[in-house]
C-alpha cells in the first residue's frame, strides 16, 4: 500500500510546503500532490 499527501496554496507558503514535503517523505509518504488554488 502506498500513501500520499496533498497540499494546496492554502497550506502555506511554498517554503513551508517544501519543509512539510521533506517531513512527509521522511515519514514514509510515497508521493506528494500540490495544486495551486485560485481565489
Instruction: Check whether 9 has a pLDDT greater than 70.
Output: yes
Dist. CA 5–CA 7, nearest whole Å: 7
Q: Which residue in the block uniquely carries the three cell numbers 506528494?
A: 32
In this prediction the pTM is 0.73
By residue range, what is the domain housing residue 30?
Answer: 4-35
> Helical H runs in the chain?
14-26
- The cell for 18 is 517544501
Instruction: Check whether 5 has a pLDDT greater than 80.
Output: yes
Q: Give me the number of domains the chain comprises.
A: 1
Q: Going by DSSP bridges, is the β-strand pair 4-8/31-35 parallel, antiparallel, or unpaired?
A: parallel
Question: Given CA atoms 10, 5, 36, 17 in this order, what sign does their dihedral have?
Answer: positive
Residue 39: predicted pLDDT: 59
Amino acid at each position: 500500500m502506498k500513501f500520499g499527501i496533498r497540499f494546496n496554496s492554502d497550506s502555506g507558503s511554498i517554503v513551508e510546503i517544501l519543509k512539510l514535503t521533506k517531513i512527509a517523505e521522511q515519514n514514509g509518504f510515497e508521493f506528494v500532490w500540490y495544486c495551486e488554488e485560485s481565489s
